[in-house]
């Protein structure tokens, strides 16, 4: 059965839906190798990058698996009950990989460039974050957490860095709220690490600022990876 051409918006989501339908219908049995990326792109009439993202999503959902140097194979024709939440968590993890690299550099720069106004903004946003966490309101906490990190990036005084953070902050916000609400991910970073980061930036200690940033983001990335694999 041929795959339906995709001509509308949200091509990745539509490609995921189409490929998932084909897998679940038995178009390719368990253990079968899918057609090459180029062939799938031609069948769907989308770009190879769209196919690549769709395949990655179904790998995270547990339906497909990729084998280095061999191709993509059907792993299961039984969808996990939580496959949509898994996809959301997978998207968050990919954003986190970018976020980790960006914020480590931002923290180092902030330690050397912060002003008195930056320090005041950091302490204010840290207090607001702690208050939001105490109230246990998921959306408010995510907003407060991102506001704190936005202050860190602002203290780096690099307009391009700030623009890059802003470009994916909205995606990160929506995805984190969905994940926290869905599976009760308790936090997007430990409070002590945030306190240490603010202190390191205030002290002008770039190495300590980098460590504190990693201490915040690495455990959350690990938790997301663990949740995806369930």
- Whether 18 and 131 map to the same domain: the answer is no
pLDDT at 7: 41
Tell me what the mean pLDDT of segment 203-225 comes to. Answer: 87
2 in a domain, yes or no?
no
- Whether 88 and 68 map to the same domain: the answer is no
pLDDT at 183: 54
Max Cα–Cα distance, the chain, nearest Å: 65
Tell me what the mean pLDDT of segment 179-192 comes to. Answer: 59
Q: What is the pTM of this model?
A: 0.61
- Whether 87 and 121 map to the same domain: the answer is yes
207 in a domain, yes or no?
yes
- pLDDT tens, residue by residue, 113-131: 999 999 999 999 999 988 8
- pLDDT tens, residue by residue, 88-101: 666 667 777 888 88
Considering 74, 102, 118, which residue would you say is the last residue of a domain? 74
3 in a domain, yes or no?
no
Considering 74, 109, 124, which residue would you say is the last residue of a domain? 74
pLDDT at 208: 97
Count of residues for the chain?
A: 230
5 in a domain, yes or no?
no
Residue whose pair of structure tokens reads 């997978």 in the numeric block = 90
Residue 28 belongs to what domain range?
A: 11-74
pLDDT at 181: 65
What token pair was written down for 214? 């990693």
- Whether 149 and 51 map to the same domain: the answer is no
Considering 56, 74, 92, which residue would you say is the last residue of a domain? 74
Give the Å distances, CA to CA, from 119 to 98, 108, 148. Answer: 25, 14, 11
- Whether 89 and 189 map to the same domain: the answer is yes
Q: Is the confidence at residue 46, as pLDDT, over 50?
A: yes
- Whether 98 and 209 map to the same domain: the answer is yes
Q: Angle CA(189)–CA(219)–CA(167) in degrees, nearest 5?
A: 60
Q: d(Cα 96, Cα 102) in Å, to the nearest integer?
A: 10
Q: How many domains does one find in the chain?
A: 2
Domain CATH code at residue 208: 1.20.120.530
């Amino acid at each position: 059965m041929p795959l339906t051409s995709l001509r509308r918006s949200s091509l990745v989501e539509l490609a995921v839906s189409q490929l998932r339908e084909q897998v679940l219908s038995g178009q390719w049995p368990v253990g079968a190798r899918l057609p090459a990326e180029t062939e799938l792109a031609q069948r769907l009439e989308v770009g190879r990058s769209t196919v690549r993202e769709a395949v990655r999503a179904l790998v995270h959902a547990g339906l497909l698996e990729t084998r280095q140097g061999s191709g993509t194979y059907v792993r299961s024709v039984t969808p996990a009950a939580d496959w949509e939440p898994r996809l959301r968590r997978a998207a968050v993890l990919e954003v986190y990989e970018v976020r980790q690299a960006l914020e480590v550099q931002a923290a180092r720069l902030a330690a050397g460039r912060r002003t008195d106004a930056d320090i005041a903004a950091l302490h204010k946003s840290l207090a607001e974050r702690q208050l939001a966490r105490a109230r246990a309101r998921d959306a408010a906490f995510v907003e407060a957490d991102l506001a704190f990190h936005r202050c860190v990036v602002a203290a780096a005084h690099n307009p391009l860095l700030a623009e890059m953070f802003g470009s994916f902050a909205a995606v990160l916000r929506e995805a984190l709220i969905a994940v926290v609400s869905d599976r009760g991910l308790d936090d997007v970073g430990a409070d002590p690490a945030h306190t240490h980061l603010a202190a390191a930036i205030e002290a002008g200690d770039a190495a300590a600022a980098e460590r504190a940033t990693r201490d915040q983001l690495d455990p959350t990335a690990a938790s997301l990876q663990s949740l995806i694999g369930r």
